[in-house]
Amino acid sequence: MHGSPGQQPVTGQPAEARRAALRVPSASLADGALRICSANLSYGDLDRDSGSDQRWHKTVEALTAWAPHVVLVQEMTALHPHGLHAHLWRTASALGMIPLLGPPTPVSVSGNHPAILVDYDAGLRVLDQGPPPWLPGAGAAPAWAWAKLQVPGLSHPLHVYSVHLPARTAAGQREQAERLASRIAQEGALAVAGGDWNCYAPGEQGLTPGVLAALPPHLRPARMRATADGQLAAVHDVHEVLAAIGMSDIAASLPPGCRSPRQLTGTGSCEHGRIDRFYASGGLERAAVRYEQASTGGSDHQALLLILDTAAASALTLRPCAP
């Protein structure tokens, strides 16, 4: 690794100089290591009471240290609606990237959007983006942003999704997951879907009934169910929908030696439960060589880092696109 969000940031320099100082020599992807980050910015990492952007600066420093080629962003917003695009471009420019804004997050009352940031200096190119404009009456808008990328060293286009599922409804989460899974399965492409799923996955050893009962009650409708004996159990509907089309929970699929931390630990305010995760399709998890998660100091969510070996990914055989 070339750094982590816990390291001391380079301060007192313009963003471009800081980025140059932290940037790895293989920015062109000549080493075949594609670095994808996911980061929930927690209301844009802006303080709505004071107007402070100190949390935003911490997150930018942390992400810069990871030298990502792609950043999947959730909760991109601004203090005022007219400032959304300015804050989006400010964030992308600070990281030396270009931004793609997704639709408003369904059921959001704060103007949150998912977004995708792409490093053009490393040779990545955007071939397409979405979802397309959503028509009134067509149901809830997709809870994700999508980009089709041409990546140096990768023989197939890579589809990336920045996902932010509804926080208050398990039914809404499942519906969104079904639509997303159907799309990915139909494309038959290499895909990485990462972000804030607002629900749990199997394999979380610490999510005992007692731990679940101690969490704020407003989290129960979307993340838990009551068993026949009156205990609370985590809901895994979203994970099961994605697993049904062959998508893999990347952190869980890697051996502990390829993860930091080694154990599967929480990514939100609770030490248990990875509500932020990466999933991969097309066997792409076999190209994963490293996974990390760490606090940025700016958000209530930890940021995630996934490193893919482009040579291993290029060797994968794709399914044909369904009609």
Q: What is the pLDDT of residues 102-111, one digit of tens each?
A: 999 887 666 7
Mean pLDDT of the chain: 88
Judged against a pLDDT cut of 70, whether residue 15 lies above it is answered with no
Choose between 132 and 179: higher pLDDT.
179
pLDDT score recorded for residue 28 = 67
Domain ranges of the chain: 15-313
The per-residue pLDDT for range 213-236, each reduced to its tens digit, is: 999 899 899 999 999 998 999 999
CA distances from 259 to 196, 286, 312 (A): 19, 14, 19
Whole-number percent of the chain with pLDDT over 90? 72
Residues 290-296 have a mean pLDDT of 97
Residues 73-85 have a mean pLDDT of 90
pLDDT score recorded for residue 5 = 47
pLDDT score recorded for residue 241 = 98
Tally the residues of the chain.
323
Judged against a pLDDT cut of 80, whether residue 295 lies above it is answered with yes
CA distances from 93 to 17, 121, 172, 298 (A): 12, 12, 34, 18
The per-residue pLDDT for range 43-59, each reduced to its tens digit, is: 888 888 788 999 999 99
Q: Which of 29, 101, 105 is nearest to 68 (CA)?
A: 29
pLDDT band of residue 27 (cuts 50, 70, 90) is low
pLDDT band of residue 323 (cuts 50, 70, 90) is low
Say which residues have a Cβ less than 8 Å from residue 30's Cβ, sequence separation at least 6: none
Residues 82-107 have a mean pLDDT of 93
Whole-number percent of the chain with pLDDT over 70? 89
The per-residue pLDDT for range 129-157, each reduced to its tens digit, is: 999 887 777 778 899 999 999 999 999 99
pLDDT score recorded for residue 37 = 98
CA–CA dist 99, 232 (Å, integer): 40
Judged against a pLDDT cut of 70, whether residue 250 lies above it is answered with yes
**Half-sphere CA count of 107, side-chain side, radius 13 A:** 14
Residues 268-297 have a mean pLDDT of 93
Choose between 120 and 30: higher pLDDT.
120
Q: For residue 108, how far is the Cα from the chain centroid?
A: 18
Residues 207-216 have a mean pLDDT of 90
Residues 3-17 have a mean pLDDT of 42
pLDDT score recorded for residue 26 = 37
CA–CA dist 116, 70 (Å, integer): 7
Q: Give the other-Cβ count within 10 Å of 263's Cβ.
A: 8
The answer to whether residues 39 and 31 touch, using CB atoms and an 8 Å cutoff, is no
CA–CA dist 76, 55 (Å, integer): 13
Residues 176-201 have a mean pLDDT of 96
For 15-313, CATH number?
Answer: 3.60.10.10
Residue with tokens 């071939």, as numbered in its chain = 127
Model-wide pTM > 0.85: yes
pLDDT score recorded for residue 108 = 67
